[in-house]
């Protein structure tokens, strides 16, 4: 058997330390749900859940607008709609902390410059990785692009399913919710609005 010279120095990645009071809060929830947090399968669950929630909510640690700082003016005279559609995302409902899963379409009509298309997805994920409602998520993404790129128009449409509706309460799976927010020419001009929504598939 051959070993890499660096094998003896390799260490497993350091796990984020979880304060005891956070783990105890999760144990309390497990007990309240009817299970025993000390049984084998649940002993390490409080720390795992805590780390997972730090990952789910990492959007609180960033300003999504930073992704729009770098812009490009050399666009070869391009002055039509820029659209990124079917962007998958996951968030969590602030009312039940249940998953929200869906897709977004983000469009803007450039004025003087454009951004890399991946930046639009990064803005979406920055806001989605927080406790949310879909209506606010839609408005935040649109407002961020409108304020920072200063384009002629912005359109954001989000379509998502909510586990707080499919897995509890009314328990109705297979239902999707659609929200939209328009700014500038897409709001004020009916022809521009129709064009961008048609490109999005709505």
Catalytic residue annotation: 93-96, 134, 162, 164
**DSSP characters over 139-150:** HHHHHHHHHHH-
Contacting residues for 26 by C-beta, under 8 A, at least 6 apart? 37, 45, 46, 49, 50
The residues with which 178 forms a beta bridge, in sequence order, are: 159
Query: For helices 134-149 and 117-128, what crossing angle results, to 10°?
Result: 140
The burial class, CB within 10 Å (0-12 / 13-18 / 19+), for 1 is exposed
């Amino acid at each position: 058997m051959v070993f890499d010279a660096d094998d003896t120095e390799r260490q497993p990645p350091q796990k984020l330390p979880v304060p005891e009071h956070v783990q105890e809060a999760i144990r309390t929830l497990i007990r309240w749900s009817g299970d025993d947090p000390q049984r084998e399968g649940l002993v390490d669950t409080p720390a795992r859940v805590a780390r997972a929630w730090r990952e789910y909510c990492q959007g609180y640690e960033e300003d999504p607008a930073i992704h729009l700082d770098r812009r490009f003016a050399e666009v070869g005279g391009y002055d039509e709609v820029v659209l990124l559609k079917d962007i998958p995302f996951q968030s969590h409902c602030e009312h039940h902390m249940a998953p929200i899963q869906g897709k977004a379409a983000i469009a803007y009509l450039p004025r003087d410059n454009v951004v890399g298309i991946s930046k639009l997805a990064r803005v979406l994920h920055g806001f989605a990785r927080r406790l949310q409602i879909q209506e606010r998520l839609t408005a935040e993404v649109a407002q961020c692009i409108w304020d920072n790129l200063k384009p002629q128009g912005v359109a954001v449409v989000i379509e998502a399913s909510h586990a707080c509706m499919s897995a509890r309460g009314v328990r109705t799976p297979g239902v999707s919710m659609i929200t939209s927010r328009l700014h500038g020419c897409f709001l004020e001009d009916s022809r521009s609005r129709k064009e961008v929504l048609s490109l999005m598939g709505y």
